[in-house]
Amino acid sequence: MNAWYEQIPGYLYGSSEIARSAVSRQDLEKLKVSAGFTDEDARFLRLAGKVLEGQTEKIVRHWRNGIIANIPNLARHSRTPEGEAIPKYLDASNLRFERWILDTCLRPYDQDWIDYQQEIALRHTRAKKNKTDGVRSTSYVPFRDVIAFVAVMNETIKPYLSAKGNSAEEIDKMHRAWCKSMQMQLALWIGPYSKARQAPEEW
Amino acid sequence: MNAWYEQIPGYLYGSSEIARSAVSRQDLEKLKVSAGFTDEDARFLRLAGKVLEGQTEKIVRHWRNGIIANIPNLARHSRTPEGEAIPKYLDASNLRFERWILDTCLRPYDQDWIDYQQEIALRHTRAKKNKTDGVRSTSYVPFRDVIAFVAVMNETIKPYLSAKGNSAEEIDKMHRAWCKSMQMQLALWIGPYSKARQAPEEW
């Protein structure tokens, strides 16, 4: 039997349909050093994964309905150009969003993970946005808004990390590890955004 | 009499030599919303500025000598292509680094600030790196390393925010405000990096 997340529309982690990134595991090791991401951080991310499992629906609802929906500049990326809701798009991308939280915490940071970071970024650029779900929406998400919204996710994830009775020190270490992973992911996402054809007007 | 920082070589904040950014204050307001940066954050950054004043030399020494110097991949950007130290370059850029900490906390986020973010980014790209100090070093700092090192700065600034006896709540709020400002600055820095001519190989 397949895991639940293998049923998520468009969730192709580890599949042969996902293009190989030019970023190697060696590049990622250098990036870890630049971000100060250690084996201890990897351990605390796994703990964070256990803590966040079962909370991801609530977290994504918080981010999407509680925050993004109230920021027209961000909400438009899940809507048609005329501003109409696209429930199918939102449902599928919310499930992928949930799974991404757990992938951040629980997946080994190997070539599959690197490749999927590229796929995630591409799906926010003109190259692939809307294609996975076959919808009509904004043609890309400006990278500046992705970077900025990471600040919101970093701030708002903390209460969920605190929800299972871990010690203050454990919560802090889980949070630090999460924040470092976010910066590494942003650093990987910048690659697809930097392609000459799409970058200048998509920053 | 001029303020001490006006004597820093190459520190041209607010000067007419600094190019105007295409990013407007209105764009910045949108970015603040995307990053969840509020007036309260601005207030706590000003408090952080008071707390960090007098500590910036120690902080930059920590970052440069304690961390960057031990990461060859990062340290090379202050050295000649042959790996020799360039003390004059390091001294001047360290002073600017110190001043940047205080500018982050104490300057109003107005057009001058936006314009100087563009200047800071340009000085890390092929367009302007080394030119301010007239040195021979790496031709650019890959943006992925800038993004990654922000994680290190965010983590290591916290003890300095705690050094003046503020309450745990104040320290936490100063730290959150700092982290949000970092993401907004990264979002502004991506602009100059996204210029088609330099981006593809500088991500």
Read off the pTM: 0.94
Distance from CA of B2 to the nearest CA of A (A): 35
pLDDT tens digits along A161-198: 999 999 999 999 999 999 999 999 999 998 887 764 44
Distance (Å) of CA B122 to CA A49, A93, B19, B98, B131: 38, 35, 10, 18, 10
A73 interaction partners in chain B (CB closer than 8 Å): 30, 33-34
Using an 8 Å CB-CB cutoff, list chain B residues near A145.
31, 34, 187
Q: Chain A interface, mutation test: which of B40, B169, B182, B183, most A Cβ atoms within 10 Å?
A: B183
pLDDT in tens, A39-80: 999 999 999 999 999 999 999 999 999 999 999 999 999 999
Reported ipTM = 0.92
- At B3 the pLDDT is 79
